[in-house]
A and B are shown apart, each in its own frame.
Chain A
Amino acid sequence: MNEVLLLTAAQMQAGLRRGEYSSQELTRACLEQIERLEDRLHAFITLAPEMALEQARRADELLTAWRRQGGELPPLLGIPLAVKDVLAVRGLPCTAGSRILEGFVPPYNATAVERVLQAGAVVLGKTNTDEFAMGSSTENSAFGVTHNPWNLERVPGGSSGGSAAAVAGRMAPFALGTDTGGSVRQPAAFCGLTGLKPTYGRISRYGLFAYASSLDTVGVLAHTAEDAALLYGVMQGEDVRDATSLRAPVEAVDLSAPPDFERLRLGVVKEYRQHDIQPEIAAALEKVVRQFQEMGATVQEVSLPSTRHAVPVYYLIAPAEASANLARYDGIRYGPRQPADTLPDLYRRTRGRLFGREVKRRIMLGTFALSAGYQEAYYGKAQRVRQMMQQDFARAFEQVDVLLAPVAPTTAFPIGAHRGDPLSMYLEDIFTLPANLTGVPAISFPAGFDQSGLPVGLQLLGGPRQEALLLQLVHAFQQVTAWHNRTPPLVLEE
């Protein structure tokens, strides 16, 4: 493996500017690494080597000119990255992990993608995902299962499992993911990465193939908080094409100034301590609490009684929105239309054959939750409980600045562990869902390893628009810990 791939994106940025290597060399190294490991990891759905090398060539031209003339350089110039295959990249197929979108090439960029391209990044390809981001293991992709670089028998988490595996496998220094119910944070935790889910609306959803519109966010998978801040920094901010994007001014994330730990109030969720979680994760949580205390933070227990409803509330609201969002895949304009004699049969056959089981399950669930006579009892009640959760969180963030919590009850589970038992899979999301339901930002970060050598991840949740604080805290934590520096043995083996 090319040693340059062990660098963080921030280090690559510096190296490129110093001329230690070119963007084309860096891009080729990534493509070679993909070639070396893709058979085993299956992180990508679509690779774009020509497009990537062309972008790299242009980046090198700019770098050469800059070394002669100086001036401003776009922040991500020449740095490769991977994009989850639910975000539109103009000219590349976008499948959302579904056969129903086979052959669809969007003629537009997602705003997040547009901004990273404007910032000079090089797009290597589109990463695997659970179909329409519905899943917590990337096993629900129509294009095969992605494997965890730390243990090929394990899932990488999901639904941004392809992006997580690509970054953990050093195929790309960082990647774009999406987080609707933990889909950035949980794969980050399973793969030993730092994963940021921003405040709802902080990064435009335009061009993100919608799963659940009121919960979907674009997020970042990276090795360090510094890299996450770099990538998040160029994507954040209002977008006129997304009416739900935050109108708040863009905040620059300054990691150079350490956060004031003396004044930091760290909350631990009382209800989560009573939850059944893997002992190593519980132990890591207590250890990190002590570390924060040692750095000067005040720790207090916070009660969030409504969080116990997170799973049922999420699995009513998200499928309800999904049932409408996925109605456009009707065989009229996308995908291989299934022949039929009548219009209803055309819909039934196309959707019946081309959607996977989990997608169909959620469409059914959501359609039912919205149907006449049941909407009030299911969708309506879920919305009211969601409001209670938002109030609970608002109260909690009056008492504390951030909450520390597990990301998942276990480390990466074996592929197939939840097969045939969707409910047990849904319960995996218990700790990640509240941040989506309440819209607050959260960041997951490496905090240890379990007995079988799998990464342990924890998350910090902040009040609305507190991304900068979360990134600063994890950055400070990563200055005194080394969990984030470990590399899967698979990657290092010759």
Chain B
Amino acid sequence: MSGMEFEAIIGLEVHAEIATRSKMFCSCPVLDTTQAEPNQAVCPVCSGMPGTLPVVNRRAVELGLRVALALGCDIPPVSVFARKNYFYPDLPKGYQISQYRYPLAVNGVLEIAVDGERRPIRVRRVHLEEDTGKLTHMQDEHGAYSLVDLNRAGVPLLEIVSEPDMRSAAEARAYGEALRQILRYLQVNSGDMQKGVLRFEANVSLRPKGATGLGTRTEIKNLNSFRALERSIEYEIERQSALLRRGETVIQQTVGWDEAREITLVQRGKEEEDDYRYFPEPDLPPLVISAEWLASIRSALPELPHARQQRFEQAYGLRPYDAGVLTAEAEIADYFEAVVRAAADVPPRQVANWITGELFGLLNRQEGRITHIPLPADEFAHLLRFVQAGEINTAAAKRVLAEMLESGDPAAEIIARRGLRQISDADALAAWVDQVLNENPAEVQAYLDGKEGLLNWFFGQVMRLSKGKADPQVVRRVLEGRLQALKGE
């Protein structure tokens, strides 16, 4: 098989915590499990005490349906909770309440863009389930032991399973990012990977290019960042192709991604796979989704990222790149539109340039990914309107913006305080122009002798004299007029 070309077949399973106030089946609060003290949000229900019963959190179902609708899924009128049975100390009941044969939604689609090209990835199913607790393994003078924290046990999760439609690690990453963006748009999940609210599992197989069957696949667990997702798939593709080129076979198994060493490690083989003995959860009646309920959720659905990007291009005349940057986060897109509304006289393209250029530039110094702008949209709009009206120049406006972010003071106040109001009055400017020309007779003579490049130098001197307040266009016009007159003498 050496020299053979392979094609990767990749599918993703995404577990997304649903950002509800309370847990899936009890009224315990959902805490930030990376911050909270262990076992603070625990009650008889989510700790699996005998005789307790689950009650479905309607809000979690609603948010799950939002995602299902956004992915264009078919949503059957009835779905069924099921018990997934296995033993582990982080699973208090000895089974996880999930959905199996009758999931919340099926047959969706998520569009991804790689290198500017858009491609649909099919979504097989979306279902609701509860999260498990967390184990911390300890080793001290008492020996090895584990601590159980049930804060996370029973937190609502949405499992979103794709078809094996992706062909590269980059596509898998794009799928993950597109899904994260939608979840954030829908306010279903913060997308904060470091807090573990979004987790991936990838299944990867190879087949000779042009073949249609599916090869033996491996499943990669523990993927908690986009980097891990991409790197582990790349690694697995490399590992499998090496095996196949040597004429060996891929074994169906579950592997874990070792973040530090950047390799996958075998967790268990097929023969060791658990039989989860799924069966319908007798403690919960089938979940009925009425047409009215679905309609009300649909009507409250926000505009989704891609639609919004297209609208930004068309309605505001933005370049696709800028529209993409501005719609990456719903909050930024909202901000843009709020500024456009408040600064109706400023062309939207200019607003976009100011946000993606100057504002992002200033914010970028503080943190990497910009999800929030700590400056009220109408304040920012004020500043842009000053520029538009010619009351301050661009250079001054940039200084004002930096100071607005720092001090939180309104633009008008900073402009007044710093005396930055632009002087466009030609008579006032003429005095500065005359002063510069009078004080530099040698340079004037050199200019008249043909050293025309000195025009910019005179311009700079006038601007400096005005402390940057002079309207540059007017300065240039007056300066050129005066020099022209001298030439004529």
Contacts and interface: CB of A to CB of B under 8 A. Distances in A.
Interface stretch (A29-37, A50-58, A101-109, A257-265): A101-109
Contacts of A107: 44, 49
Nearest to A344: B87
Contact of A327 (B47, B87, B275): B87
Interface string A272-315: 00000000000000000000000000000000000000000000
B453 interface: no
A205 B53 contact: yes
Given A213-B283, A243-B285, A375-B279, A328 B94 contact: yes
A258 to B, nearest CB: 37
A324 B148 contact: no
Given A106-B51, A321-B282, A327-B87, A333 B92 contact: yes
Given A367-B277, A370-B279, A375-B279, A243 B44 contact: no
Interface in B79-115: 83, 85, 87, 89, 92-95
A106 B56 CA distance: 23
A208 interface: yes
Given A206-B52, A327-B85, A367-B277, A244 B47 contact: no
Interface in B321-358: none
Contacts of B93: 327-328
B54 interface: yes
B50 A243 contact: no
A333 B95 contact: no
B102 to A, nearest CB: 14
B94 A87 contact: no
B55 A241 contact: yes
Contact of B282 (A209, A213, A372): A213
B285 A332 contact: no
A319 to B, nearest CB: 12
A214 B83 CA distance: 14
B168 to A, nearest CB: 34
A359 to B, nearest CB: 14
B384 to A, nearest CB: 54
Nearest to A320: B279
Given A94-B50, A108-B52, A372 B275 contact: yes
- Give the interface SS of chain A, mostly helix, strand, loop or mixed: loop
B29 interface: no
Nearest to A94: B50
Interface in B32-54: 44, 47-54
Contacts of B95: 324, 327
B275 A101 contact: no
B138 interface: no
A333 B52 CA distance: 15
A241 B48 contact: no
A243 B279 contact: no
B277 A106 contact: no
B50 A88 contact: yes
Contacts of B275: 371-372
Interface residues of B, number: 27
Interface string B255-286: 00000000000000000000101010011110
A330 B94 contact: yes
A101 B53 CA distance: 18
Contacts of A110: 51
Given A210-B51, A243-B55, A370 B277 contact: yes
A347 interface: yes
Nearest to A380: B279
Given A320-B279, A327-B95, A96 B50 contact: yes
Contact of A207 (B51, B94, B148): B51
A254 interface: no
A377 interface: no
Contacts of A320: 279
A371 B279 CA distance: 10
Given A321-B282, A328-B92, A371-B277, A207 B52 contact: yes
B117 to A, nearest CB: 41
A86 B85 CA distance: 23
A327 B84 CA distance: 11
A328 B277 contact: no
Given A240-B55, A324-B95, A328-B93, A108 B44 contact: yes
A283 B52 CA distance: 44
Of B44, B49, B51, B95, most buried by chain A (CB within 10 Å of CB) is: B51
Contacts of A150: none
Contacts of B279: 320-321, 324, 370, 375, 379
Interface string B212-248: 0000000000000000000000000000000000000
A333 B89 CA distance: 9
Contacts of B148: 332
Contacts of A328: 48, 50, 92-94
A217 B282 CA distance: 13
A347 B87 CA distance: 8
Contacts of B87: 327, 330, 347
A343 interface: yes
Nearest to A205: B53
Nearest to A366: B277
Interface in A98-119: 101, 104, 106-108, 110
Contacts of A327: 85, 87, 93-95
Interface in B274-300: 275, 277, 279, 282-285
Contacts of B94: 324, 326-330
B51 A88 contact: yes
Nearest to A86: B51
Nearest to B26: A241
Given A327-B85, A327-B93, A372-B275, A206 B285 contact: no
Interface string A193-226: 0000000000001111110111000000000000
A392 to B, nearest CB: 21
Contact of A209 (B50, B54, B83, B89): B50
A442 to B, nearest CB: 20
Nearest to A132: B50
A94 B52 CA distance: 13
A244 B284 contact: yes
A251 interface: no
Interface in B1-57: 44, 47-56
A450 interface: no
A212 to B, nearest CB: 8
A271 interface: no
Interface string A348-382: 00000000000000000001001110010001000
Nearest to B49: A106
A88 B49 CA distance: 10
A121 B34 CA distance: 46
A101 B50 contact: yes
A189 B282 CA distance: 29
Of B89, B148, B283, B285, most buried by chain A (CB within 10 Å of CB) is: B283
A241 B44 contact: no
B239 to A, nearest CB: 29
Nearest to A215: B282
A208 B51 CA distance: 4
A403 B363 CA distance: 78
B51 A243 contact: no
Given A371-B275, A375-B279, A108 B285 contact: no
Given A320-B279, A328-B92, 17 more contacts: A88-B50, A101-B50, A106-B44, A106-B49, A108-B44, A243-B56, A244-B53, A244-B282, A244-B285, A323-B85, A324-B279, A328-B48, A328-B93, A330-B94, A332-B148, A372-B275, A375-B279
9 contacts: A108-B49, A207-B52, A243-B53, A243-B285, A321-B282, A323-B277, A327-B95, A328-B94, A334-B50
